[in-house]
Amino acid sequence: MSSLHIFYISFFSCALLLHTAFTYNINSSLEYCDYLNKRVFKQRCIGLYTATMLAKYMDGKMRHLNQFAIYAAEDDPGIYFLALRKSVMHFCHRLQWKNNTEFECLDREKPERILLLKAEIHCFKFPLDYCIDLVQLCEVENHRKPVFPEIKENAILYAMRSILAEAGAAFIQPFTKLQLFGILAFVNCAHKLLENI
């Protein structure tokens, strides 16, 4: 076996070890999220976060032109789910919340699991002006007549990292700079040791 093969094996082994060593992280206010249970949400639209929204609400987790998706419950149009920041969820037109970090995409006959590797979810049992404005912005951006949504309950999800579990591609998770530096340092040391053998 050549040193190049050993180099690649150690690199991917180290990357897999680092990937599994870091637990999934979700910060949330789940005590109010009971209305999400077993409910199917249908995507209404996808929009881009504007500078006006940024100035009005000063949401530190959002940036100008970040993508967001609006979902409404199929059985109750007064319940909204907003998926802020681009993630694989936005490719899903019908989804269902399973637990803290897991959703199911119901677009196909067999549901596809979506795992959130880093996220925050906040549930509110009253309408937020922020959600109303985002729904109206999304409607306008998709060339629809803006409507004033009658929101009863709404949930906001900030998806920082996500993967399709069915893809089996653990390396899709974006590593932090520190994790990448650690991987490269380990691989470099392993490569130097192999050269001396």
Q: Where are the alpha helices (DSSP H) in the chain?
A: 3-21, 51-57, 129-141, 177-196
Q: Are 65 and 109 in contact (CB under 8 A)?
A: no
In the predicted structure, residue 186 carries a pLDDT above the cut 70: yes
Which pLDDT score, from 0 to 100, does residue 69 have? 97
Q: Are 38 and 73 in contact (CB under 8 A)?
A: no
For CA atoms 38, 43, 49, 52, give the dihedral sign: negative
In the predicted structure, residue 106 carries a pLDDT above the cut 90: yes
In the predicted structure, residue 15 carries a pLDDT above the cut 60: no
In the predicted structure, residue 24 carries a pLDDT above the cut 90: no
**Strand bridging mode 153-164 / 112-124:** antiparallel
Q: Are 150 and 78 in contact (CB under 8 A)?
A: yes
In the predicted structure, residue 97 carries a pLDDT above the cut 50: yes
Mean pLDDT score, 118-143 = 93
Which pLDDT score, from 0 to 100, does residue 90 have? 93
Which pLDDT score, from 0 to 100, does residue 162 have? 55
In the predicted structure, residue 63 carries a pLDDT above the cut 80: yes
**Integer Cα distance of 70 and 83 in angstroms:** 6
Categorize the per-residue pLDDT at 22 as very low, low, confident or very high, splitting at 50, 70 and 90: very low
Mean pLDDT score, 145-155 = 87
pLDDT digits (tens, 9 = 90+) for 45-59: 999 999 999 999 999
Q: Are 155 and 122 in contact (CB under 8 A)?
A: yes
**Residues of the chain above pLDDT 90, percent:** 51
In the predicted structure, residue 181 carries a pLDDT above the cut 60: yes
Which pLDDT score, from 0 to 100, does residue 5 have? 58
